Structure 1
């Protein structure tokens, strides 16, 4: 691998370690992928982040032999939705999946996140949907995630966790943190009597303002 690819692999590992250190994830449950040319780089299965080195990441073709991989360790069990998102959403450069505590708590109740804060517009609309349940690592889970991500750049996974993607690894991580922040705010609002939800018009106003700041371009529809 060349120096640029090694640097991206190292960045993926650094972000994995950070998301565990920050409490956004725990153990080996989350995973991160990034687009590298016509391939996807993804964290390997069941490997502690502290012990991970750049050459241990799996490399998978975005087109061609679906599910093929190269590397010393097999890819994360969630490689399907990472690969399918990168294939279906050309604007996606990196995908972050975590079992973030508040996102997971809402996903366990199978709630979407409504427009309880204007920052929900950063995800492309007035809600962050909760994908229907399917077992981890399955084609069904990937299909459910793609449906929930239509017109959005993040979703919850029923009884599981969350997904966020962005035009760079840095932006995908930012969105993952913002999503967990929204989930915590919504959770806390439910504890004290419920939330006042912003109107669609108010979210459209925020989306327009975000374009001026360069914070969020509306996600393109899923292919």
Structure 2
């Protein structure tokens, strides 16, 4: 299955900027440590390296190819462009890749813990847990390979000693998943204080996955019932 690339328009570019600003406003990220990309007909549209979100303008987004390195004479893309490129190739059904360092996700990532089925919303990420991607240096081929392998059938992951990444059918859906992922991380951490959460069984999660096929509005991201 493949979703069509997003149009490379001012509106699309502004949506990427708005998502970055929303991440920081909702305390899902800090500074310029996050980045977002969208697959477009010309390749991959991605945020530039090290530019404050409030200073971003639509014409500052950087276009990189779907394969191979960016043009070294043009604007510098996010330092995370390699794994964005890898995920766009591995997951053509998900036109948007969103990466950030949400506080609770980052705590679990530093502990190198995945998120088990402590809550049924784990199903929003495509499986019975939110997986942890093995550590590798940012920008490295090893990180690209690790990310692509884990995200083959998932919509989100934690990254060891790093942060979190989610995929989306739209920019809004990706931002929604990031917020849900941070809520799950918080729930898992808090329920582990002084005890351990009760984990849903494989049979219980199978029921959730079936229910999720018709969960929420037809076109908008699902919301808590």
TM-score by length of 1: 0.90
Pairwise mapping of residues 167-186 of structure 1 onto structure 2 (< 5 A)? 167-186=169-188
Kept in 2: contact 1:59–1:70 (CA 8 A) = no
Per mean C-alpha deviation after superposition, the further-off stretch among 188-197 and 115-124 is 188-197
Pick the aligned partner of 1:154 from 153, 156, 162: 156
Counterpart secondary structure, 1:102: helix
Post-superposition offset of 1:148: 2.0
Structure 1 residue aligned with 2:223: none
Residues 113 and 71 of structure 1, relative CA distance in 2, 3 Å threshold: farther
Q: Deviations over 1:154-200 (max 9, x none)?
A: 11000000000011111111111111110000010111311110011
Aligned to 2:35: 31
RMSD of the TM alignment (CA)?
A: 1.8
- The range that moved more, 84-93 or 71-80, is 71-80
Counterpart residue number, 1:84: 86
Deviation at residue 20 of structure 1 after TM alignment: 0.6
**2:152 counterpart SS class:** coil
Cα distance in 2 for residues equivalent to 1:80 and 1:214: 33
Identify if the C-alpha distance between structure 1 residues 71 and 34 changes in structure 2 by more than 3 Å, giving closer, same or farther: farther
Pairwise CA distance, 1:145: 1.3
Equivalent residue, structure 2, for 1:202: 204
| Distance apart, 1:52 and its partner CA | 0.8
Q: How many residues align?
A: 212
1:57-88 Cα distance to aligned partner (Å, 9 max, x none): 1101214xx12248852000000111111111
SS of 1:191's partner is coil
- 5+ residue gaps, structure 1, are 217-223
Q: Distance in 1 between matches of 2:41 and 2:208?
A: 34
Instruction: Quote how far apart the aligned CAs of 1:142 are.
Output: 1.2
Once the 2 structures are TM-superposed, how far is the Cα of residue 214 of structure 1 from its aligned partner?
A: 6.0
CA contact (8 A) 1:58 1:70 kept: no
| Equivalent position of 2:53 in the other structure | 49
Q: TM-score, normalised by structure 2?
A: 0.90
Structure 1 stretches of 4+ moved >3 Å: 69-72
Equivalent residue for 1:121? 123
